[in-house]
Amino acid sequence: MAFARLSAFITLALGATLVSAAATTASKGVVCPTGQRTANAACCALFPIVDTLQQQLFDGAECGEEAHSALRLSFHDAIGFSIHGGKGGGADGSILAFNTTENAFHANGGIDDITDGQWPLFLQSGLSAGDFVHLAAAVGTANCPGAPRLKFFMGRPAPKAPAPDLTVPEPTDSVTAILKRFADAGFSPQEAVALLASHTIAAADVVDPSIPGTPFDSTPGTFDSQVFLEVLLKGKLFPGAGEQPGEVLSPLAGEMRLQSDFALARDPRTACFWQEMIDNQAHMQNEFKNAMAKLQVLGQDTRKLIDCSDVVPVPQPFTDNIKFPATFSKKDLELACPRLPLPNIATVAGPAPTVAPV
């Protein structure tokens, strides 16, 4: 680890020197040796790392399993934190640096795939583990059409220790327990729901191991608000080997519904935050972007971080309206926020779909 940090320092120092020689100090930042533009010369070293992530981790900039898992990893890393102290270092990359310890926690089931995938690239990058984990999450999310362009700040020190167990919420937890955990980490119920927009680009491998890659909505390759709609549909089936801990009935073959998402969508403390996301792309993007900006620097001294957000690729937009899956309509919803009108939502034509695994 010490070596990784030293080489990070050298890489950055070298990058910075090259840049000051070649940089155009125009009003809009600098031009890096790679030809890309950024507000701060120190960020130039990140462009080649972004390229490596896209080619070697995200299969050529796809919104696939690795991109999804990189986002999940950033949450599981950062949430190991308490505003009252006594827990982990927050968004410090401890989940990657101390993966042998943290991967063994029950809530981190299946996360070893992405820590294994990131490990060699992290060593090669020269970044701190925290910078690497949270850069990868921002870049992976940017591969999903409809996602906001997440911020990225650089300069997290190396993590000191693994986060303790039992900081990551589980799908078997009650709404009260989930909101308490989020509050302990500094997030309001509204921010917790905002962060759950992530489940629009998500699938489960270990909830029901007989059906790995089972998505939480019918469009896991798009950062749309479909998950907020589909979690409110009446459930009628289990997609795999029957009911599993943390799983409840889902409306569609091939789709997994988490008990926690089901409960948060219907609980009076969160139902209106949930429902107002439906077909409200700009609102959802904005809420998610802000909550992620907070999550990704949790526990860090932000005065020491450099804003390198302009190294994050610009996501493709999602400009359509969302639709009910074929055969479903408003009558199939279990709406739990009476004060909010539901927008008009069309239904996809044809027979009810079976959602394909990711």
Per CB under 6 A, does 63 bind ligand HEM?
no
Number of residues in contact with ligand HEM under rule CB under 6 A: 25
Indicate which single residue of 30, 42, 95, 178 sits in contact with ligand HEM (rule: CB under 6 A).
Answer: 178
- Report in angstroms the alpha-carbon separations of 176 from 106, 131, 189, 268: 20, 32, 10, 11
- For residue 164, the minimal CB distance to ligand HEM (Å) is 18
What are phi and psi for residue 254, nearest 5 degrees? 85, 0
End-to-end, the C-alpha distance of the chain in Å comes to 33
Helices 2-22 + 112-125 axis angle, to 10 = 50
Per CB under 6 A, does 248 bind ligand HEM?
no
Per CB under 6 A, does 72 bind ligand HEM?
yes
Indicate which single residue of 54, 69, 118, 270 sits in contact with ligand HEM (rule: CB under 6 A).
Answer: 69
Per CB under 6 A, does 75 bind ligand HEM?
yes
- Report in angstroms the alpha-carbon separations of 100 from 97, 108, 210, 215: 8, 11, 25, 27
Contact, 83 vs 153, CB < 8 A? no
Angstrom distance (rounded) from CA 113 to CA 65: 10
**Does the annotation place 205 within a ligand binding site?**
no
Torsion sign over Cα 276, 280, 281, 286: negative
- For residue 126, the minimal CB distance to ligand HEM (Å) is 26
DSSP 294: H
Angstrom distance (rounded) from CA 131 to CA 109: 23
Per CB under 6 A, does 198 bind ligand HEM?
yes
Indicate which single residue of 30, 41, 63, 71 sits in contact with ligand HEM (rule: CB under 6 A).
Answer: 71
Contact, 71 vs 289, CB < 8 A? no
Indicate which single residue of 41, 45, 68, 122 sits in contact with ligand HEM (rule: CB under 6 A).
Answer: 68
Per CB under 6 A, does 169 bind ligand HEM?
yes
Angstrom distance (rounded) from CA 356 to CA 141: 20
CB atoms within 10 A of CB 314: 9
| Contact flags string 95-134 toward ligand HEM, x per CB under 6 A | ---------------x------------------------
Indicate which single residue of 12, 19, 258, 297 sits in contact with ligand HEM (rule: CB under 6 A).
Answer: 258
Active site residue 106: no
| Contact flags string 292-321 toward ligand HEM, x per CB under 6 A | ------------------------------
Per CB under 6 A, does 78 bind ligand HEM?
no
Footprint on this chain of ligand HEM (rule: CB under 6 A) = 65, 68-69, 71-72, 75, 110, 169-171, 178, 195-196, 198-199, 201-207, 246, 258, 260
